[in-house]
């Protein structure tokens, strides 16, 4: 049976959620990321609205450059807890159409709806139903690609953003790919692209017409992979056992600092945010990692694996602080610090509940649940630790790429 694979990709997800929740942001260039500080800010753009993209702003761009391109834009800090809650609502909608669901990031997923066609309709009809529900229930738009495999569906979902729907019919994969630039192929980075262009290859169709042996001679094993993809061949299944590998946050200081108390306060805030995200997603962690970037951009990480899985700042922060003490050198200015939790276990998983019957752990758990409830009802900024109030931690942490893969 020919497979029917959908790739669902939310449009400018963080920015779209902010525009939905703040009517005054709608129709205006909105940049989600660090504080630009009038063009002198540190950090990067997490994402931006399509209005901002028209000025050349894009994700992972230095926030100072975004400011120069769009000084009249609206700049807001990421609210990762809120985005995670909305992501959960989206995934629950998708799960209504198939149990073959692979979430690959906070705002995108693959669905294998081959077995759902008899009851739910064609791939196109299922995609239309999903888009309609996301818009009607969550007031957000999604772009969807429908194809016979994951690779084609992923490319299709990106072609007509925002609010796009692209269907690639069985047998039409090679024709669909042929005019697209070679950088669309998975595995083609700047070096490979340059090597291919040197021999006159600029489109996927041109790669498809090169004999496999010639590509293997030029690019080795990569040549074989690119040739298969250029033919529209991708046999990978939708992996329903996908699990988040890590959860983390980091802070880029507005000014490089050598003050360890400032770094300590930042770690406490990061531990709190990371723990709250973990509880929201009902996971605990066995491994804590800290990240440390000096003023010259030298970057170091240290990690420690714990005897018990944890999900509170009271357990994460002391470990992070101890690891940071091993990295910090007196007199060295620090640009960025981060905290991540990995080696994750679900709360029903083996080892997840080992310390719940200790009195101190019970108190921590009740306190954390109370804090989570307040944050859900009144917003993430409605409650903070007293230790953070007098210390300007240069506000808000962002979720870095790679910590949530």
Same-domain status, 270 and 161: no
Question: Which CATH number belongs to the domain containing residue 192 in this structure?
Answer: 1.10.150.20
Question: Is residue 18 within a helix (H) or strand (E), and if so which, with residue range?
Answer: helix 13-21
d(CA 75, CA 204): 38
What the block records as the tokens of 61 is: 């761009």
Same-domain status, 12 and 51: yes
Give the percent of the chain with pLDDT over 90.
59
Question: Which CATH number belongs to the domain containing residue 376 in this structure?
Answer: 3.30.1490.100
Quick check: 8 pLDDT over 50? yes
Active site residues: 108
Quick check: 293 pLDDT over 80? yes
Going from the C-alpha of 372 to that of each of 82, 317, 377, 380, 382, the distances in angstroms are 12, 18, 9, 9, 11
Same-domain status, 261 and 184: no
Contact, 24 vs 38, CB < 8 A?
Answer: no
What the block records as the tokens of 300 is: 């170091």
d(CA 202, CA 229): 15
Q: If you count them, how many residues does the chain have?
A: 405
Helix axes 80-95, 260-280, angle to 10 degrees: 20
Q: Residue 377: what pLDDT?
A: 55
Going from the C-alpha of 249 to that of each of 55, 131, 166, 272, 294, the distances in angstroms are 28, 31, 35, 10, 17
Question: Is residue 159 within a helix (H) or strand (E), and if so which, with residue range?
Answer: none
What the block records as the tokens of 398 is: 């962002």
The domain total for the chain is 3
Asked whether residue 358 is domain-assigned, the answer is yes
Quick check: 104 pLDDT over 80? yes
Asked whether residue 255 is domain-assigned, the answer is yes
Asked whether residue 23 is domain-assigned, the answer is yes
Q: What is the four-CA torsion angle of 284, 289, 295, 296, rounded to 10 degrees?
A: -130
Same-domain status, 40 and 88: yes
Name the pLDDT band for 150 (thresholds 50, 70, 90): very high
Same-domain status, 159 and 182: no
Rounded to the nearest angstrom, the gap between the alpha carbon of residue 182 and the centroid of all alpha carbons in its chain is 25
CB count within 10 Å of CB 327 equals 17
Q: Residue 92: what pLDDT?
A: 94
Contact, 339 vs 290, CB < 8 A?
Answer: yes
Pairing of strands 30-33, 45-48: antiparallel
CB count within 10 Å of CB 58 equals 15
Rounded to the nearest angstrom, the gap between the alpha carbon of residue 63 and the centroid of all alpha carbons in its chain is 18
What the block records as the tokens of 348 is: 């029903």
Higher pLDDT, 373 or 390: 373
Asked whether residue 225 is domain-assigned, the answer is yes
Q: Residue 357: what pLDDT?
A: 46
Sheet holding 283-294, edge to edge: 246-257, 334-346, 283-294, 299-310
Average pLDDT value for the chain: 86
Same-domain status, 164 and 179: no
Q: Residue 215: what pLDDT?
A: 86
Same-domain status, 128 and 190: no
206 Cβ contact partners less than 8 Å away, ≥ 6 residues apart: 182, 200
Same-domain status, 179 and 288: no
DSSP string, 254-315: EEEE--HHHHHHHHHHHHHHHHHHHHHTTEEEEEEEEEEEETT--EEEEEEEEEEEE-SHHH
What the block records as the tokens of 332 is: 């060295």
- Average of pLDDT values for 40-65? 92
Same-domain status, 120 and 199: no
Asked whether residue 253 is domain-assigned, the answer is yes
Q: What is the four-CA torsion angle of 302, 305, 308, 310, rounded to 10 degrees?
A: 30
d(CA 295, CA 255): 10
Quick check: 248 pLDDT over 70? yes
Domain that holds residue 198: 174-230
DSSP string, 337-369: EEEEEEEEEETTSTTTTTTTTSHHHHHHHHHHH
Same-domain status, 157 and 277: no
Q: What are the pLDDT digits (tens) for 174-228?
A: 999 999 999 999 888 888 888 889 889 999 999 999 999 988 888 888 888 899 9
Collapsing DSSP to helix, strand or coil, 35 comes out as: coil
d(CA 165, CA 125): 11
Same-domain status, 263 and 278: yes
d(CA 371, CA 380): 9
Burial level of 260, CB count in 10 A (0-12/13-18/19+)? middle
Q: Residue 400: what pLDDT?
A: 41
Q: What is the CA radius of gyration of the chain?
A: 23
Same-domain status, 132 and 180: no
Going from the C-alpha of 21 to that of each of 16, 18, 82, 86, 321, the distances in angstroms are 9, 5, 11, 12, 36
Asked whether residue 110 is domain-assigned, the answer is yes
Asked whether residue 72 is domain-assigned, the answer is yes
- Average of pLDDT values for 110-120? 92
Asked whether residue 394 is domain-assigned, the answer is no
Q: Residue 366: what pLDDT?
A: 63
Phi, psi at 156, each rounded to 5°: -60, -40
| Listed residue (387, 380, 383, 399) closest to 265, CA to CA | 387
Question: Which CATH number belongs to the domain containing residue 117 in this structure?
Answer: 3.30.70.270
Name the pLDDT band for 296 (thresholds 50, 70, 90): confident
């Amino acid at each position: 049976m020919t497979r029917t694979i959908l790739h669902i990709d939310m449009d400018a997800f963080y920015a779209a959620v902010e525009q939905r929740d703040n009517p005054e942001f709608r129709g205006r260039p909105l940049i989600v990321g660090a504080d630009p500080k009038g063009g002198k800010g540190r950090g990067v753009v997490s994402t931006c609205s399509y209005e901002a993209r028209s000025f050349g702003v894009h994700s992972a761009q230095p926030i100072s450059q975004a400011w120069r391109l769009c000084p009249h834009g609206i700049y807001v800090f990421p609210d990762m807890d809120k985005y995670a809650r909305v992501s959960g609502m989206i995934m629950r909608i998708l799960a209504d159409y198939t149990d073959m669901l692979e979430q690959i990031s906070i705002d995108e997923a693959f669905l294998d709806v081959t077995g759902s066609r008899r009851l739910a309709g064609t791939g196109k009809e299922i995609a239309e139903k999903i888009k309609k529900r996301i818009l009607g229930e969550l007031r957000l738009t999604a772009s969807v690609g429908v194809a016979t495999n994951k690779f084609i569906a992923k490319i299709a979902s990106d072609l007509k953003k925002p609010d796009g729907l692209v269907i690639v019919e069985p047998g039409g994969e090679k024709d669909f790919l042929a005019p697209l630039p070679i950088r669309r192929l998975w595995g083609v980075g700047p070096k490979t692209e340059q090597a291919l262009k040197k021999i006159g290859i600029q489109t996927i169709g041109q790669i498809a017409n090169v004999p496999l042996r010639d590509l293997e001679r030029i690019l080795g094993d990569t040549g074989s992979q690119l040739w298969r993809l250029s033919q529209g061949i991708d046999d990978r299944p939708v992996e329903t056992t996908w699990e988040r590998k890590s959860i983390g946050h980091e802070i880029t200081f507005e000014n490089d600092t050598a003050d360890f108390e400032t770094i300590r306060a930042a770690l406490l805030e990061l531990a709190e945010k990371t723990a709250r995200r973990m509880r929201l997603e009902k996971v605990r962690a066995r491994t804590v990692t800290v990240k440390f970037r000096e003023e010259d951009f030298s970057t170091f990480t240290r990690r420690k694996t714990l005897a018990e899985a944890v999900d509170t700042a009271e357990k994460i922060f002391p470990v992070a602080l101890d690891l940071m003490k091993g990295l910090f050198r007196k007199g060295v200015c620090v640009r960025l610090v981060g905290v991540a939790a990995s080696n994750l276990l679900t709360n029903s998983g083996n080892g997840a509940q080992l310390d719940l019957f200790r009195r101190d752990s019970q108190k921590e758990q009740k306190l954390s649940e109370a804090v989570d409830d307040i944050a859900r009802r009144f917003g993430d900024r409605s409650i903070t630790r007293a230790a953070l109030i007098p210390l300007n931690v240069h506000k808000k942490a962002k979720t870095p790429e790679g910590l949530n893969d």
